[in-house]
Amino acid sequence: MEQETLHVKGMSCGHCVSAVEGNVGEMRGVSDVKVNLGQGTVAVSYDKSDVTHAEIVDTIEDQGYDVG
Amino acid sequence: MEQETLHVKGMSCGHCVSAVEGNVGEMRGVSDVKVNLGQGTVAVSYDKSDVTHAEIVDTIEDQGYDVG
């Protein structure tokens, strides 16, 4: 199990939290995801044999946010 | 037909635009609603015989925003 904290720009409200947590949370291999709006971070726990860092980043960016 | 521009605090992203435009837009008597995120305004066209200013304000506040 991997645990990573990604820095994500553009998340500004509760809808953004729902969009990121909802979409990342339903990815196969992701066991936990938590957005911190104030810090602009997304903490993700996932199984590397099921999902990659790049796939998680893509999912967040597909929602219109900037990871990096 | 009335046309009013309300000042609304807390709208910060595209999801907020959708929440306000969607909920106000489906009210009976409202013929047009347009959010301007940069200015923090909601322009509404409505028929006073079908819907009141107060009802429109209530609908926006129910979405978690502050009108005034």
Tens-digit pLDDT profile for residues B17-67: 999 999 999 999 999 999 999 999 999 999 999 999 999 999 999 999 999
Contacts of B14 in chain A (CB under 8 A): 64
A8 within 8 A of A41, measured Cβ to Cβ = yes
Contact of B52 with chain A, judged by CB distance below 8 Å, is answered with no
* CA quadruple A35, B19, B39, B50: dihedral, nearest 10: -160
By C-alpha distance, the chain B residue nearest A16 is B15
Contacts of A15 in chain B (CB under 8 A): 13, 15-16, 19
Q: At what angle do helices B14-25 and A14-25 cross, to 10 degrees?
A: 110
Name which of B12, B35, B65, B66 to mutate to probe chain A: the one with the most chain A Cβ atoms within 10 A of its Cβ.
B12
Write out chain A's pLDDT in tens, 68 residues. Answer: 999 999 999 999 999 999 999 999 999 999 999 999 999 999 999 999 999 999 999 999 999 999 99
Contacts of A14 in chain B (CB under 8 A): 64
B40 within 8 A of B8, measured Cβ to Cβ = yes
Q: At what angle do helices B14-25 and B53-62 cross, to 10 degrees?
A: 140
Q: Which domains does chain A have, with CATH numbers?
A: 2-61 (3.30.70.100)
Query: Could you give the C-alpha distances from B16 to A7, B12, B27, B32, in angstroms and in order?
Result: 22, 6, 17, 17
Q: Is the pTM of this model over 0.95?
A: no
